Amino acid sequence: MEQVIIIGAGPCGLSAAIELKKAGIDALIIEKGAVVQSISNYPTYMIFHSTPELLEIGEIPFTTIQEKPSRQEALNYYRITAKRYQLRIQTYEKVVEVEPLSDGFRLTTQDRFGDEKSYDTKRVIIATGYFDHPNKLGIPGEELPKVSSRYTEAHPYTGMNVAIVGGNNSAVDAALDLERAGANVTVVYRGAEVSSHVKAWTKPLFLSAAEKGKINVMYSSAVKEIRKHVILVQTGDEVVELANDFVFTLIGFRPDRSLLQKLGVSFDEVSGSPAFHPETMETAVPNLYIAGVIAAGYRGNSIFIENGRHHGKLIAAHIVGQG
């Protein structure tokens, strides 16, 4: 029987494994994608908001060329750190069920070929992220192939009519990137002005591009329907039809609460946050812990790598204290 199994090999899951290893516990990490899959899914040329020292785990220095790290540098850093600590990570294996036992838990997994495995463990740490469950608009046409909830890079959309739904950092960054590559960009945002959460160094660039007509911004508006060659946008009392080739719905993600719910963890109805002890990260289910953004509920922007990476120390201290 394993001492600890961690579900998720994101930065917070890796950090938890490192802190446990320092305490003499060699946890097993099970990850349904690649190591730090969420970062791998970021836009190809993305630059982090944070400085590198705020992304460090395991006391391994994160050195970068510029003041703030790129996606590629982050991928390299977390790969190297996991290797340095010789973490046990099984990738491309999805945990499909966690069952309580008298002395722990039984995990059932499925690999990318559909083969199942079973693991028994005394303790489980759920460190899954948000990024496999994008928020939906709930409108006709959202299932069309031209609609995506992830933005990677601009080149394929040169000369295309591209609509972006959203007004936060991901939407603003994508709009600027697409405009530079020669796309005809329209941003549709339900707010009356660009979000206050947009990075201070990006916001003026976006507002300037909008003022100069390089990017068409429709505030206090909502896409009502997506069709093959057009979109319908409600703006005020008017419904406007716009020529369109591609749509990016960059409106955030929601947590996957299914594993926690099946195990009997309760959730705050307003915040969506699971019930847990903030000093140990243990849920009301004994020996079941959470780490990272899964603790944030609906407020995904309240927990980042910067603060979620510290959850592992709390968990390790509690487990070691139990003996």
Centroid of chain to Cα 6: 17
CB contact at 8 A, 25 and 318:
no
Amino acid (1-letter code) at residue 197: H
Contact in structure between 273 and 267 (CB atoms under 8 Å): yes
Mean pLDDT highest for which of 45-54, 62-71, 250-259?
Answer: 62-71
Asked if 235 contacts 218 with a C-beta cutoff of 8 angstroms, the reply is: yes
Contact (Cβ atoms closer than 8 angstroms) between residue 159 and residue 132: no
Domains of the chain: 2-132+253-322 (3.50.50.60), 147-249 (3.50.50.60)
Mean predicted lDDT score pLDDT of the chain: 93
The answer on pLDDT for 303 being more than 70 is no
16-25, 141-150, 276-285, 301-310: which has the minimum mean pLDDT? Answer: 301-310
Query: What pLDDT is stored for residue 323 in this prediction?
Result: 67
Would you say 253 and 133 are in contact if contact means Cβ atoms under 8 Å apart? yes
Task: Single out the residue of 306, 288, 319 nearest to residue 127, CA to CA.
Answer: 288
Mean pLDDT of 238-247: 98
Residue from 243, 226, 247 nearest 162 by CA = 247
Report residue 180's pLDDT band, with 50, 70 and 90 as the boundaries.
very high
User: For residue 175, how many C-alpha atoms fall within 13 Å in the half-sphere facing its CB?
Assistant: 33
> What pLDDT, on a 0 to 100 scale, did the predictor assign at position 271?
79
pLDDT at 69: 95
Pick the more confident residue, 256 or 229. Answer: 229
How far is the C-alpha of 189 from the C-alpha of 75, rounded, in Å?
31
The arithmetic mean of pLDDT across residues 26-35, rounded, is 97
pTM above 0.75, yes or no: yes
Burial of 145 (0-12, 13-18, 19+ CB in 10 A): exposed
Question: What pLDDT band is residue 254 in, cutting at 50, 70 and 90?
Answer: confident
Lowest mean pLDDT segment, chosen from 5-19, 161-175, 208-222, 269-283: 269-283
Evaluate if residue 172 carries a pLDDT over 90: yes
Integer angstrom CA distances of residue 51 from 39, 41, 117, 128 = 16, 20, 40, 23
